Amino acid sequence: MAEHITDEDRELLDELGVDTAPVAAGGRSPREQRIIAGFEEIERFVENQGRAPQHGEHGDIFERLYAVRLDRIRESAECREVLKELDTRGLLGSASHDSASIVEGERSDEDLLASLGLEPSPDNDITRLVHVRPREEIKAAEEVARRMPCEDFDAFQPLFEQVQRELNAGVRSTAKYEMKVEIKKGDLFIHDGQKALVADMGQEFTSEYERQNRRLRVIYDNGTESGYLLRSFQRALYKDPASRRILKTDPGPLFAGIEEEGDLATGYVYVLRSKSDHPFVSEHRSLIHKIGVTGGDVSSRIAGARKDPTYLLADVEIAATYKLANIDRKRLEALLHRFFSSARLDMELKDRFGLQVEPREWFLVPLSVIDETINKIKDGTISEHRYDPETGRITAI
């Protein structure tokens, strides 16, 4: 017999990436598979609602259907035997209801199915769950049920637009979601291909299974929102293979004029000017600059420039340098190159072997604009601006 898995064990296994979903053993008969499929629908209801399905007019048609089904499963020795090793939540218990214990006037499983426009099983057998929907259909229906139009989306749209600009500029980054990550108000995620904001968190409460939970308000960038329970949202993110956390990149002291104790020197941003005699370069020499980041000495890096297509096969001079401290060099270089991508130099050269090359780190940008850009990265406002190659200026977005 398989060892019983507690809710705490399940969370730990989720964090370790172990799939704890019940798996039907090999050799299951079609009858047993139908019993398991029907029980899994009830378990999904419990997972989303934090309680077992209940009888009564207060519940929707599906909850009442699940309640009737659970009663019948509990009353069936065969069903209990099939499900006993899969019942991780203790839903089976003992047969606490008989057919007469159902609320008077409560419709049967078949009546409920008929009201939904579905055909009941011809032989009235609990194992003939002809109304069990395919998993993809269930997932789609649950997703629709969780989402609703966000009436005050106008208040959130500017934030989503700002976040997208910051992602484009490299001010924000993304990381794979992990179950152990604590979710807080204001956190941003990518879920089902959409940006999602945790706009609010309700009061914490203890669920039927003695687990702490709370209701969330999650706003999506397509103008919808959902009222996930915290644990349900965590599971939804974990089960989405493309889900990501959206993080604010804290650059720290990007550029150190004076090194402070504890600072980790990480190199330089360098701006080079070419001495090439190429006609176009000669004509625009004061505007054409190579922008790069290095962890070593800049002079040593450019020593062999005349033999390297990266440097336009010509000597270069250092126009400016900015010392770095505590910064990811590759990320900063990517940020600078993206910011000036509209002004990238479109030029092809042949290397010493006659092969065509296209340098990618040269830009038609005045040195004063590069200096202004560095300052905007320092003060954290770079995502609010763009470079206009027509005017040669930085403009607000």
Per-residue pLDDT of the chain (397 residues; tens, 9 = 90+): 344 555 555 554 554 444 454 544 456 787 888 888 888 888 888 888 888 888 876 667 777 788 888 888 888 888 888 888 888 888 887 444 433 333 333 444 555 455 444 444 444 444 444 445 454 444 444 444 467 888 899 989 988 988 888 787 777 888 888 877 789 999 999 998 899 999 999 888 886 666 788 889 999 999 999 888 888 898 889 888 889 999 876 554 455 444 444 444 568 899 999 998 888 888 989 899 999 998 888 888 888 888 888 888 889 999 998 887 767 788 888 889 989 989 998 877 666 666 666 788 899 999 999 999 988 888 778 888 889 988 889 988 7
CA distances from 297 to 188, 208, 270, 293, 385 (A): 39, 63, 10, 11, 31
Contact 276, 282 (CB under 8 A): yes
Check residue 120 and report its DSSP letter.
P
Residues 228-239 as b or e (16 or more Cβ within 10 Å = b):
bbbbbbbbbbbe
pTM of the model: 0.41
CB neighbours (10 Å) of residue 325?
19
Coil vs helix vs strand at 85: coil
Crossing angle of the two packed helices 30-49 and 230-239, in degrees rounded to 10: 130
